[in-house]
Amino acid sequence: MLTIRSRVYGGIFSLALVVLPMASAAAAGAAKPPAEPLSPAEAQTLVQRVLAEEVQMARDTSHPMRFHLRKQSPRLTTLKEMIETRDGAVARLVAVNDKPLDAAGEQQEQARLDALERDPSLQQHRKHGEDEDMAVVMKVLRMMPSAFLYQYQGLGPGIAGPVQRFSFRPNPRFQPPDMETQALTAMTGELWIDAAGERVVRLAGSLQQDTSYGWGILGKLNKGGWLELEQAEVAPHVWRISHVQLKMSLRIVVKTRIFDTDELMRDYTPVASGLDYRSAIHMLRGK
């Protein structure tokens, strides 16, 4: 069961990861961009269809990837090589503050991988956490069509072709069923959809007011926090998150936590479907 703290954290990160990294298999058929502006009802219907498709694609885990993850915060920058497996993602730290690991750092990382390979419970714990996070993300993704009112803003240029741009604002009729979806009531922003393939390529949102959890006793997300996410086709019919920026301030009980990260995912290459985590460790070691 999720703790109160993890449920609040999960709600934040579900907003940042609402376009799912395991999504794959492009939508069947290509949609034509509308010749005329979409009415509010048409905009709502199109967004609902696209987000429902993203939920379905998120269930397809048959296209695992190997990639680099660069995570930057005000105090630390790390570069990790990641491999997706049936047992959850496996990572190897390769650089800190844009410098390769020194001998001591490399020795420490190898020792960590040794311990991970010897003790499957460590990877099982990580996989359990990933599954819990994914469940929260799926919940928020399903809520987005009813949580927001969407307005068509026209066609714009995108990396892979024209995108349909939508603004969104909270739906006053939406009643969040739990803590993970509470922040949706305070967020406005933009959603961009690839006009040909009907895939979400960009999400940007900001909190327009403080969001309290448990009448402010359990915690509060502060007004002004924002996030931006981009998704791209990294292999034929396979999409992954390529860039995430997040800046939010969260108070839980008496502590304040600042989230200020910039994550760049690149160099995606396919790996074998059904790969186990120990095989991934060997691959990360170059064996």
Q: Where are the domains of the chain?
A: 4-284
pLDDT-based confidence at 268, cuts 50/70/90?
A: very high
H/E segment holding residue 180: none
pLDDT score recorded for residue 2: 36
Residue percentage of the chain with pLDDT more than 90? 50
Say if strands 148-156 and 99-100 run parallel, antiparallel, or are unpaired. Answer: unpaired
In this prediction, residues 29-38 reach a mean pLDDT of 56
pLDDT score recorded for residue 35: 52
> For the whole model, what pTM was predicted?
0.82
Instruction: Yes or no: say if 151 and 167 are a contact pair by the CB < 8 Å rule.
Output: yes
Q: Is the dihedral of CA 96, 13, 133, 202 positive or negative?
A: negative
pLDDT per residue as tens digits for the range 175-197: 988 777 888 888 999 999 998 88
pLDDT-based confidence at 154, cuts 50/70/90?
A: very high
pLDDT per residue as tens digits for the range 117-129: 999 999 999 999 8
